[in-house]
Amino acid sequence: MKKIVLHISIIFLIVYFSSCSPKGTLSEPLLYSQNIKGNKVVSAEKLEALLPQRPNKRILRTPLTLGLYFHQLFAQNYPAQKAKWQNDLTKLNEEFEQATKGMENSSSIYTELSKKKEKKAQKLTRKINEGNWGMRTFGEAPSYFYPEDAQKNVEKIKTYLKNHGFFKYSVSYKADSLFFKKRSIAVTYLVNEGTFYPFNRTDSLVVKDKAIYQILKKAQNESLLQVGKRLEVENYNAEKNRIEQILKNNGYYHFSKENISIRINDLDTATTKGIDAITFVPHPDRLPSNPNYNKSYLINKVTFISDGSSPSIPAPKIDTVDFHNIRYLLVNKKFSAKLLDSKIDIQPNEPYSQQKVLSTQKKLYGLDQFQFTRINFDTTKGVLDATIYARPLDKYQFTAETGGSLYKLVLGPFFNTSFKLRNLRGSASSLESNFRFGFEAQAGFIRPDLVSRNLELGFNTSLIIPKILAPNIIAQKLNDFTPQTRLGAGVELVGRQEYNRLNFKINQTYLWRPSPNKYWQVSLIDLNLLSTTYPNNQQARDFKNFLDSLQKYTGNNLVRSFNKSFVSSISASYTYTDNPYGQITKGNYLRLLLESGGTTLNFFPNGKIGFVSSIFSDSLQFYRFLKINADYRRYLSLNSIGNSIFVYKINTGLAYAYGNEKSLPYEKNFFVGGPNSLRAWKPRALGPGSAKGNFDQPGSILLETSAEYRFKIFKFYGDYNINGAFFVDAGNVWRFKGQNTEGVEGSDFQFNRFYKEIAVGTGFGVRVDLSFFVLRLDWAVKVIDPSLAENNRWVLFKPSSKLPSNYQNPLVLNFGIGYPF
């Protein structure tokens, strides 16, 4: 009976909110939906992108339009408010005119009064145009249907079809009134694409200048207008850009695509069943905008100016350095001319090349020493002179941030600070230091009911050198890819109620970026000295006794992961992302990692480095292992305006220990569970396999996947948004047989059962998007729990009578900053 009442109530609310407006009047029929039908070649998504009108947002595709309802609710007094704001704006302008009468526009008083007036005027204008606070924050303005807009859209679609090679097309629309949604119109655009003719020929050139003709003829096999393909306006424009770039990279500084005309011959399609493309240079219907469009230039001279001038330095010091035919004028700040020369591709007596101009800017920007670089060219003397102007960044940079995490209502605050010292001794190298202090709320290993704040301290410093410190043949090949060598050292401390773990580390890393989307990181030296001590409390004693009992009674060597250890490794990682500058909303992300630990130990007796053992005693633990990790993510936009996204990730990995010790360093294990993993489980608490434990559950085999449907709920206060998400998480970790699997039944990986041990959780999330960061709340519940008996692992909505007596499946709240992936 209760369910029936609930369902009736939901239906009533949907009908109520979707059919009424609180005392508000809608002047025209609402645009409920718009669809494309009849298209077979061009996707509906591309055609929908041509339509500027957007229906009001509906909740989960129901007729429920909460934004419109609240807009009308808060608009009840808007007409009177609007009139008042208009009067206030008029009065503000009159008072400003009166207050500034007779003042000079350049005076400081006039400027100050103008700023204050403009600030108030902007607020009033926004209220007049967008409504009061409630309308702007919670509401969404009505989206009306106008026949003239629909007809304009018909013409836009026709133009699109024409520009994409279609002939004999037709487009119309029909507007249907909805029975269940009063004064609402569903618009359907009926598209008949007709037919299209492919290119028969695209290699016809009509070029007056013989040198330009030879250059274009040589590169014609790279044409973007291909035989057998239909005309697309994007490829048509891209082909003009391609020709422009070819000539600009061959000395033609004044050439532009305005000098290009590509004519389409479609006069005899009935016979030829195709079209031809004919390229004209210059444009046959108009004179070139610059008479020197066909003049090829050699670079005459190059000057680099580093402008470190400052009002605080009345008499700037200018150092002039000539190196490799380039003159360097360094104002107040010295830089290595040799290093700068390796980043400048523009050289005297070489043809002008726009590609080299862009690569020079990219390389100089990658030094992280300049606010900006600007390259100017001068042809007034009949030759081409280049001037590279750069403005240095501040020598000292300090940043700080603070935040926190939340677990079982226990707050874990943190504080990070970073200090950077640039251009050490004029070498363009930097020294960067980072300090972290924080607490992370976590459950205890043995007593998960005890939640404590675990201390995290860390200090790391790195010397960043803007080149690869390697043999010249390698360094030169990577010079175009913004290379860096980082030499680092640091110390980190984790203080838990069960143990304190101290890590001293030294590392050396190469980094380079072949393109904005691709990133390589290779570390040949990564040395870590780890030491674990146990505080004098009951939790630490219980934890130590547990580790000792695992080894004594079952042969499980997990305790070795907490011994004093020396971990050395080499690694390489590759990252690809379709958006290197922010959160991806459409595209792909891939990260691959390969790591080999203790590789050099294979060349020492007993797999130990003698002098290291003698310094830190024979009890020092050495490790040898191989680790592979692949993390792939896919972001799919479900509509043309990008407010609905489907995202999924697949994260897999293997970590295999070999040699005398069959265990991994604790930090090299895989863990699942927590806000960025399987959200229905506690952090790091799931697995391994079907094993059940109350503390961190390390594994050496990882299989993890998540999928999210993300959508906007409503906008508030400017560009801030409240977003929602439905998600499903699945995965687990396992161990290789014989590697700490003794006494932990079901923890090893077996092909005949691993798929039965994949945990599944699901839930709903709310994300407060403040543009500069995202505050995330995710509620998750278990669906399949592999720690239960094989025939009783489905736990969602299962009566408690069919589950173990002490089993609980609570709704878990996860708090995080940023998206989970």
Please write the tens of the pLDDT for every residue from 777-796.
Answer: 999 999 999 999 888 899 99
Q: Give the whole-angstrom CA distance, residue 719 versus residue 425.
A: 44
Q: Is residue 456 part of a domain?
A: no
Tens-place pLDDT, residues 650-691: 999 999 998 777 788 888 899 999 889 999 998 888 989 998
Tens-place pLDDT, residues 534-544: 999 888 888 88
120 and 157 inside one domain: no
Q: Is residue 293 part of a domain?
A: no
* Res 307: pLDDT: 92
For residue 393, what is the DSSP state? P
68 and 202 inside one domain: no
SS3 state of residue 37 = strand
DSSP 747-786: -B--TTTGGGG-EEEEEEEEEEE-SS-EEEEEEEEEEE-T
* Mean local confidence (pLDDT), 746-757: 91
| CB contact at 8 A, 249 and 355 | yes
49 and 158 inside one domain: yes
245 and 354 inside one domain: no
DSSP 172-187: EEEEEE-SSSTTEEEE
* Res 619: pLDDT: 67
Q: Taking the CB of residue 615, how many other CB atoms lie within 10 A of it? A: 11
Tens-place pLDDT, residues 320-339: 999 999 999 999 989 999 99
* Res 539: pLDDT: 84
Q: What's the whole-model pTM score?
A: 0.76
CA dist list (Å): 241 to 253, 288, 515, 570: 14, 17, 20, 44
218 and 95 inside one domain: no
Helix axes 78-99, 108-130, angle to 10 degrees: 170
Q: Give the whole-angstrom CA distance, residue 767 versus residue 722.
A: 6
821: which strand partners? Answer: none
* Count of CA atoms in the C-beta half-sphere (13 A) of 100: 20
66 and 147 inside one domain: yes
70 and 82 inside one domain: no
Amino acid at the residue 15: V
28 and 59 inside one domain: yes
User: What pLDDT band is residue 404 in, cutting at 50, 70 and 90?
Assistant: low
For residue 429, what is the DSSP state? -
List the CATH number of the domain containing 188: 3.10.20.310
Average pLDDT value for the chain? 87
245 and 112 inside one domain: no
The two structure tokens encoding residue 640:
């043309």
Number of domains within the chain: 4
177 and 62 inside one domain: yes
Tell me which of 334, 360, 392 is where a domain ends. 392
Instruction: Give me the domain span that covers residue 70.
Output: 2-74+142-195
Q: Is residue 670 part of a domain?
A: no
Q: Is residue 229 part of a domain?
A: yes
Which residues lie below 8 Å from residue 582, measured CB to CB, with a gap of 6+?
Answer: none
Q: Is residue 223 part of a domain?
A: yes
| Alpha-carbon 551 to chain mean position | 44
Of 266, 261, 265, 264, the residue nearest 279 (C-alpha): 261
Residue 624, phi then psi, degrees to nearest 5: -130, 130
User: What pLDDT band is residue 206 in, cutting at 50, 70 and 90?
Assistant: very high
Tell me which of 253, 281, 309 is where a domain ends. 281
57 and 156 inside one domain: yes
509: which strand partners? Answer: 486, 523
Residue 584, phi then psi, degrees to nearest 5: -75, 135
What percentage of the chain has pLDDT greater than the value 90? Answer: 51
Q: Give the whole-angstrom CA distance, residue 602 versus residue 608.
A: 9
Which is it for strands 384-392 and 299-307: parallel, antiparallel or unpaired? parallel
Tens-place pLDDT, residues 614-662: 555 556 788 889 999 999 999 998 876 667 889 999 999 999 998 777 7
| CB contact at 8 A, 283 and 277 | no
Q: Is residue 113 part of a domain?
A: yes
- Would you give the end-to-end CA distance of the chain in angstroms? 42
Tell me which of 251, 281, 311 is where a domain ends. 281
| CB contact at 8 A, 761 and 672 | no
Which is it for strands 326-331 and 299-307: parallel, antiparallel or unpaired? parallel
Q: Is residue 457 part of a domain?
A: no
Residue 807, phi then psi, degrees to nearest 5: -85, 135
Tens-place pLDDT, residues 430-459: 999 999 998 877 766 666 667 777 889 999
- List the single range of 11-20, 389-398, 406-415, 419-428 with lowest mean pLDDT: 11-20
119 and 231 inside one domain: no
Q: Taking the CB of residue 479, how many other CB atoms lie within 10 A of it? A: 18
Q: Is residue 695 part of a domain?
A: no
| CB contact at 8 A, 757 and 711 | no
| CB contact at 8 A, 802 and 788 | no
The two structure tokens encoding residue 80:
């009177």
Overall size of the chain counted in residues: 821
* Mean local confidence (pLDDT), 8-37: 65
Determine the Cα angle at 530 with ends 525 and 534, to 5°.
170
Query: Does the CA dihedral 792-798-801-803 come out positive or negative?
Result: positive
Q: Is the pLDDT of residue 286 over 50?
A: yes
Amino acid at the residue 54: R
Query: Does the CA dihedral 666-671-674-676 come out positive or negative?
Result: positive
